[in-house]
Chains A and B, each alone.
Chain A
Amino acid sequence: MAAEKMSIAKALNESLRKALETDPKVLIMGEDVGKLGGVFRITDGLQKDFGEGRVIDTPLAESGIVGTAIGLALRGYRPVVEIQFDGFVFPAYDQIVTQLAKMHARALGKIKMPVVIRIPYGGGIGAVEHHSESPEALFAHVAGLKVVSPSNASDAYWMMQQAVQSDDPIIFFEPKRRYWDKGELDTESIPGPLHKAAVAREGSDLTLVAYGPMVKVCLEAAAAAQEEGKSVEVLDLRSMSPIDFDAVQTSVEKTGRLVVVHEAPVFYGSGAEIAARITERCFYHLEAPVLRVGGYHAPYPPARLEDEYLPGLDRVLDAVDRSLAY
């Protein structure tokens, strides 16, 4: 048992270090990932220890980063690519969607695409435009990609290990405002599959489903609701594609109520997918319509307004109250 407390950022760093140590085919690529260790220092010290051939500073060209990673994967390497910020992934979106996602199917399974694309995502750090977005639905909609986001240090460590080992392309969304949150990390006990959801808090009156940065908000909401005598279960989805609908169904069959919470705009968001599937699966168990809490159909606002845009404790509790009022 080697459990210790560390931040999500440090857990990711440790996980990448282990991946580089374990498999000589693993490469880290991205802008500023070398000497600087990435703008969030997730790759801190890795180039020093593994060299410029394994931890590769790239030109400032996102399509080029992902496109060459595809070529390296075709040659037998396992690139882990860093996109510096969520809003910068779009120059690479073409390579991700038209090439990376489809290559395995195009070759009728003859070739594999073990590429991880790390994207620090989401708001809450007071950043400028293009630095606070939640584009997960845009990737989850694309067959061939898997889309995940850890909410705590232990998941960050293990999900990165699993992502690197996967023969499928993984879009790995890192909740940047949680990078410095600390949690227990057991580096020895291997967890379940990457796509399995986890019950972050048990409850019996209502289920809150969240992932990444919103899990913490939902846990706080559940604690606040507890003080009002409401028992709220929090499910950490961990994977946005595929989604562990079985876990959501199990929880909703128990509680009868579901509120989905994410930072991304509600319109066409992952909450819509979850609401539709769960309505179909749990129609006779539901005591209230599935509600969604998330961002608005508006560009991500300037930092001074982001607290209005991001779902906070009050908006989540408001949805809990509305659901329980049915």
Chain B
Amino acid sequence: MTVESTAARKPRRSSKRTSAAKTPAKTPENSGPQLVQLLTPEGERVEHPDFEIDLSAEELRGLYRDMVLTRRFDAEATALQRQGELGLWASLLGQEAAQIGSGRALRDDDYVFPTYREHGVAWCRGVDPTNLLGMFRGVNHGGWDPNTNNFHLYTIVIGSQTLHATGYAMGVAKDGADSAVIAYFGDGASSQGDVAEAFTFSAVYNAPVVFFCQNNQWAISEPTEKQTRVPLYQRAQGFGFPGVRVDGNDVLACLAVTRSALERARRGEGPTLVEAFTYRMGAHTTSDDPTKYRADEERAAWEAKDPILRLRTYLEKQELADAAFFTALEEESESLGKRVREAVRAMPDPDRLAIFDHAYADGNPLVDEERAQFAAYQASFAEEGN
């Protein structure tokens, strides 16, 4: 090595160290004016200059009921997984406000593209919760007709559905309809190229789509800091549309912000990114063990911001719901749990030949041949008297 080359390397190495030291390693802020909040963790109503909401007592009780029943359903599904009735479950515990708030902002003719955790949104769309369990029990890969409730099938591959939502929204605009589309995804998915491409396409074509990111702080074991160096809602600016961060544990704020974004889409003003700042209280799925990667204190801190408790506090303080309401809801929850439990246990395995069903819409001679061979093979056992 020559003296020159050694000398030339030195400043580069030192400048590298300098730049690394200067790079901020901040965690995204989780409070302050940039976080839209209408109901504090203490259950106090607060105002926000850009987003307001005026709900009747009945509507407020309705949101509370939605969150309680969704949490009960989720708890039942988790229990069913522990009992061996489901192969897997992705719990939404802690994200009820983000899902119910955004879900209740939707109109019937809007279209939803969920991940695999949007049980609360499905509830708002009128999808029977037992329909959501087929894929987790292993009897199908989704199964429901997306067009019945304008609620697309759960998508397992992270972020793929943001492009489907964008394409669908492009179609809505072509049709001259004034409905809107909402795509759900998580903080982990924000790292995927598909999400960036969905942002690009939606901005370029001015598609009426709302990107609803539930930042629940963890992508399995990876914290948000492993996905991004800037707050997620700020990503939108670079693509040319607004981004808003909302308190994801505040159902009123989620409702107001999503409603506003949907209205913007309907007016033909294009996409919005909503980042619901929330927390996944449980594991990523029932296969996950969060005790290996996060501190108990963190969960405890978020429990103090529980979306259901804060609305209950507000309802009680304002005397918008009486004891009879809470008692009746408790009973409704239990009967929902019972119904879900019974439905799952009664869910039959699919017919063996269903392997071949729906591989193709227009048919396929190869599939027909393999189906016939498989049927003959199965029939051979019957002939042997087995």
A residues in contact (CB < 8 Å) with B? 53, 58-59, 61, 63-64, 66-77, 91, 94-95, 98-99, 102-113, 143-144, 146, 166-168, 195, 241-244, 246
Contacts and interface: CB of A to CB of B under 8 A. Distances in A.
B168 A67 contact: no
Interface string B127-159: 000000000000011111111000011010100
Contacts of B160: 67, 94-95, 98-99
A108 B140 contact: yes
A113 B359 CA distance: 11
B332 to A, nearest CB: 30
Interface SS of B by simple majority:
helix
Contacts of A70: 163-164, 167
Contact of B200 (A64, A71, A75, A77): A64
A113 B360 CA distance: 10
Interface residues of B, number: 43
Contact of A106 (B141, B167, B171, B365): B141
Interface of B: 140-147, 152-153, 155, 157, 160, 162-172, 174-175, 193-194, 197-198, 200-201, 204, 357-362, 364-367
B204 A59 contact: yes
Nearest to A243: B366
B358 A104 contact: yes
Contacts of B152: 74
A166 B164 CA distance: 20
A109 B361 contact: yes
9 pairs of A and B residues whose beta carbons are closest in the complex: A71-B167, A67-B163, A75-B171, A68-B167, A64-B197, A71-B168, A167-B361, A110-B145, A109-B358
A99 B157 contact: yes
B163 A63 contact: yes
Contacts of B175: 75
Contact of B361 (A59, A64, A112): A112
B166 A71 contact: yes
B145 A64 contact: no
Contacts of A61: 197, 200-201
A143 B153 CA distance: 19
B123 to A, nearest CB: 20
Contacts of B198: 64, 67-68
A166 B360 CA distance: 10
B362 A168 contact: yes
Contacts of B197: 59, 61, 63-64, 67
A64 B157 contact: no
